[in-house]
Amino acid sequence: MTTASPTLARPARIARATSLRDAFGPLGVRNYRLYVASQVLMNTSGWAARVAQNWLVLSLTGSTALVGLTVAFQFAPSVAFGLHGGVVADRYSRRTILVVTQLSFALSMLGIGLLAVTGHVRPWHVLLAAALTGVTIAYDNPSRQAFVYEIAGPEHMRRAISINSAVFQLGALVGPAVAGVLISAVGEGWAFLLNAAACFIAMGLVVAMRVSELEPTQTVVRAKGQLREGLAYSRRQPAVLWPTVLIGAAALTGINMTTVLAAYTDDVFRDGAGGYALLTSMLAVGGVVGSLVSTRSTRTRLRHLAGYAAVIGALLLALAATSSHALFLVLLVALGTVALVYLTGSNSLVQQVVPDELRGRVMALYLLVLVGAQAASGVIVGWVSEHGGAPLAMVVSAAGPLLGALAVAWAIARGEGMHPRDVVPQLPRRAVWRPVAPDPAPAGADVLPAVAANDAVPAPRRPGAVSSLS
């Protein structure tokens, strides 16, 4: 009897180590490490400031309606100015834009923090700070999304987006806990001052980036019709249009879970504030897992996105059907995992195919659809939960992802000459679809060519670009 040589297991170990190293490859880029450090600071302190903001308004006025108004003030500017923020992101240096927006965040938080610490804060001060923050977010988000390409490069972009998602979810876990400690120990004002300090440090980290090591990008000269140009490209490019449509359908009911989880806490489990924190924490834990899983994936196709959306819908139906608290928690972790894999894949697919000179405008539209749908989600799901109960609200939450996956799958198959199995693998293989020629692209537009059924769609021909649909 012979014993196995220890060297036989070495290739598998080496492969696993290499895979793990590749998964966190973006962290080998100095500029990206600085960016991640800034994101850790801003996300954690930003979540703490959001909690402190809502609690401060409630303590000053005792009105939950004013809390809702404050949140609306913070998100409404993204709807009003988000598309223009994308135009600005394509016209100017995104690094410079981030320095300016982080300075704006810092000054806004510093002002409200000092007012709160000194006891001079009034409700209108908080509303004004929320509105200023909202306007800044409208110009910060498109540039921040597009800047990932410059700091990580095309070869690391998908994994960089996954790491960003993990950082965001960690901030969602840690930030509220930090806010709770600060509010209990020293008051709400110190949460704002902490956020202001983090923004100043984050601004310094962006300034410290080496411009020579950024991926070369092309800014556009100010001209008429640039917003329409970005919208036209998004409409004509299948790998941008359908992920945007799908994210709108999924976010309309299925991704923003805060309302329905509050209803479950109050009506089903009756756990109080601690129970609500547990439910949201399980969702965030799943988000962290999903973000880390996404770092191991190298590509996403449209059919994957439709499949993920369908799984999200199925998990929501499973949540509606269960009465077990333990199983509900497990399903929430699974939901958070799949949702983050979906969100990361959708974001990376759009970013991998869009030409850099349109990246800011395209991402602004994508984020506008996402934020707008999530804002409407709270109203829709809240109304259903109030009149029909929490389980029915969970069923309604499943409708968006399921119908979106089905509608996008059929639309792509019929309109872009693709076989159904290139969109959703579960559709019948025997179905036959006639290719339909897309609308002609405008002269000079960087648009993917139409392809025959079962062919993968290549990415635009740029040095180092990665095919996102094959």
Q: How confident is the model at residue 435 (pLDDT cuts 50, 70, 90)?
A: very low
How high is the pLDDT of residue 314?
95
- Distance, in Å, from the CA atom of 244 to the CA atom of 413, rounded to the nearest integer, reads 16
For position 24, what pLDDT does the model report? Answer: 67
pLDDT in tens, 303-345: 889 999 999 999 999 999 998 989 999 999 999 899 888 988 8
Alpha-carbon span 136 to 169, nearest angstrom: 21
- Residues 257, 272: Cα–Cα separation, whole Å: 17
**Hey, what domains does the chain have and what are their CATH numbers?**
26-209 (1.20.1250.20), 226-427 (1.20.1250.20)
What is the model's pLDDT at position 181? Answer: 82
For 201-219, b/e burial (b = at least 16 CB within 10 A) is: bbbebbeebeeeebbebee
Contact criterion met (CB below 8 Å) for 67 and 56:
no
Q: What is the pTM of this model?
A: 0.69
Position 404, amino acid: G
Helix, strand, coil % over all residues of the chain, rounded to 5: 75, 0, 25
Task: Summarize pLDDT for 206-227 with one digit per residue, the tens.
Answer: 999 998 888 877 767 777 778 8
Q: Are 282 and 335 a contacting pair, CB within 8 Å?
A: no
Is residue 382 over pLDDT 90?
Answer: no
Q: What is the pLDDT of residue 429?
A: 36
The pLDDT of residue 19 is: 54
Considering only residues 122 and 265, tell me which one the structure prediction assigns the higher pLDDT. 122
Write down the mean pLDDT value for the chain.
Answer: 77
Model confidence at 419, in pLDDT bands (50, 70, 90)? Answer: very low
Give yes or no for residue 466 having a pLDDT over 50.
no
Please report the DSSP string for 384-404 in residue order.
HHHHH-HHHHHHHHHHHHHHH
pLDDT, position 112:
95
Confidence of residue 82 (pLDDT cuts 50, 70, 90): confident
Residue 469 has pLDDT above 60, yes or no: no
